[in-house]
A = this chain, B = another copy of it.
Amino acid sequence: MKKTYSEENYLKTIYHLGKSESKVSLKAIADALENNPASVIDMLRKLKEKELITYDKTQGAILTSPGEIAALDIIRKHRLWEVFLVEKLNYDWDEVHHIAEQLEHIHDEQLAKKLDDFLGNPEFDPHGDPIPASNGKMPVYANKRLSEFEINQTGTVGSVRDTSTPFLKYLKQLNLGLGSKIKVLDKLDFDQSMVITIDDSEPKTVSSKMTDNILLITA
């Protein structure tokens, strides 16, 4: 089912709003798109008719499965084009958004895949946002240092910033690797060292030098 430029923008907006808020209200969409609420309700009815969203006043707008697939497809194209503009055409990362807003609506069966391959299948766009795969899956990414965690917060180790042998040996000795589940039990104010559990084993104390170099995927 082909979609108009405007429908695509609504789907994309509903997707983004749904990530940050639990309810996607008509008002929120109107604000995000800088459209009149009266215009928005028309479009919501149209998208509902096409079964791309569900909508009612109390639940707000929710993407159906086909709606989410469509939204992710547009976001994928948007982010791939941003990579192209920055890496190939030498735009600055802050100049590319409005161009990608146009490019994301180019329709062609093969285009996203060919562009993706040409760019070397990047996982993140120039702003660090993950690029959905063609099946809609987002790459999970490690974006938060262990040192920034609060007490009782948990996460999964996604990458390490220090790749020196001594550091990696130390991690091995701790039984900590990519995928390990970490929970912070305590944070010591005076030197920022932490008491943590690794995969629910016995608690261990680690230094701030260590926690600064571990990047985790938050839940």
Q: Chain B nearest CB: distance from A179 CB in Å? A: 36
| Assembly CA distance A111 to B89 (angstroms) | 8
A83 to B: closest C-beta gap in Å: 13
A103 to B107: give the CA distance in the assembly, Å: 10
Closest chain B residue to A98, Cβ basis: B108
Chain B residue at minimum C-beta to C-beta distance from A105: B102
Neighbour of A89 across the interface among B98, B102, B107, B114, CB < 8 A = B114
Is the CB–CB distance between B89 and A118 below 8 Å? Answer: yes
Q: Which of A136-184 contact B (CB under 8 A)?
A: none
Residues of A in contact (CB 8 Å), total: 18
Question: Copies of this chain, how many?
Answer: 2
| CB-defined contacts of A103 to chain B, threshold 8 Å | 103, 106
Query: Nearest chain B CB to A207's CB is how many angstroms away?
Result: 46
Instruction: Say whether A111 contacts B99, CB under 8 Å.
Output: yes
**A115 interface hit (Cβ, 8 Å):** yes
Q: Do residues B102 and A106 form an inter-chain contact, with CB atoms below 8 A?
A: yes
B99 & A108 in contact (Cβ 8 Å cutoff): yes
Complex CA–CA separation, A42 to B88 (angstroms): 41
Interface of chain A residues 81 through 129 with chain B (CB within 8 A)? 88-91, 95, 98-99, 102-103, 105-108, 110-111, 114-115, 118
Residues of chain B contacted by A89 (CB below 8 angstroms): 111, 114-115, 118
Q: In the complex, which residues of chain B have a beta carbon less than 8 angstroms from the beta carbon of A107?
A: 102
Q: Which residues of B contact A115 (CB under 8 A)?
A: 89
CB-CB nearest in chain B for A91: B114
Interface residues of A in 20-60 (CB under 8 A from B): none
A118 and B114 alpha carbons, distance in the complex (Å): 17
Q: Name the B residues within 8 Å of A106 (CB-CB).
A: 99, 102-103
**A-to-B contact residues, CB < 8 Å:** 88-91, 95, 98-99, 102-103, 105-108, 110-111, 114-115, 118
9 contacts between A and B (CB under 8 A): A88-B118, A89-B111, A90-B118, A91-B114, A98-B108, A99-B106, A99-B108, A102-B105, A102-B108
